[in-house]
């Protein structure tokens, strides 16, 4: 079968059929990702077998990036100059001074509510999308 036909056949598979094809090709359970990602990986692997894969230097570079990412996940470093819990952010807008406080759980207190980000608060205040750190003057 020509590679184009094989790729087209994968595109026509249902989600469960893609998962089954992945598991057959790899002899292991499929990772917990959307079937569309598995289909892309399967088609890339077919094309790589037919036409050649990545250059060795690219593979080595990608391996180093993966190792560095895994190391960073195992040993996270504190974000430099990250504000501490209790930090207050003030911004005058629309003739009012808006007070926001960073909570110990990493969320923000504003207007007697808890918010997930400064950007959401900035949008609530202005009605327009803003970078929250930029709006509150803490962007680097």
Instruction: Calculate ∠ Cα 129-81-139, nearest 5°.
Output: 25
Please check the confidence at residue 140 and state whether its pLDDT lies above 70.
Answer: no
φ, ψ of residue 41 to 5 degrees: the values are: -65, -40
Name the residue with higher pLDDT: 78 or 8.
8
User: Which of 121, 116, 112 is CA-nearest to residue 93?
Assistant: 121
**Which ranges of 12-130 would DSSP assign to H, the alpha helix?**
15-26, 35-51, 56-74, 118-126
Burial per residue of 57-75, b for 16 or more beta-carbon CB atoms within 10 angstroms, e otherwise: eeeeeeeeeeeeeeeeeee
pLDDT confidence bin for 3, thresholds 50/70/90: confident
Q: What is the pTM of this model?
A: 0.48
């Amino acid at each position: 079968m020509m590679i184009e036909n094989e790729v087209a056949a994968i595109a026509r598979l249902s989600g469960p059929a893609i998962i089954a094809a992945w598991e057959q090709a790899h002899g292991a359970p499929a990772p917990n990702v959307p079937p569309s990602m598995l289909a892309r990986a399967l088609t890339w692997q077919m094309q790589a077998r037919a036409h050649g894969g990545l250059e060795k230097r690219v593979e080595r570079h990608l391996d180093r990036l993966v190792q560095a990412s895994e190391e960073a996940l195992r040993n996270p470093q504190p974000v430099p100059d990250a504000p501490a819990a209790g930090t207050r952010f003030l911004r005058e807008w629309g003739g009012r001074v808006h007070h926001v406080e960073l909570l110990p759980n990493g969320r923000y207190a504003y207007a007697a509510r808890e918010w997930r980000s400064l950007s959401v608060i900035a949008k609530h205040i202005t009605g327009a999308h803003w970078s929250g750190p930029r709006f509150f003057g803490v962007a680097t």
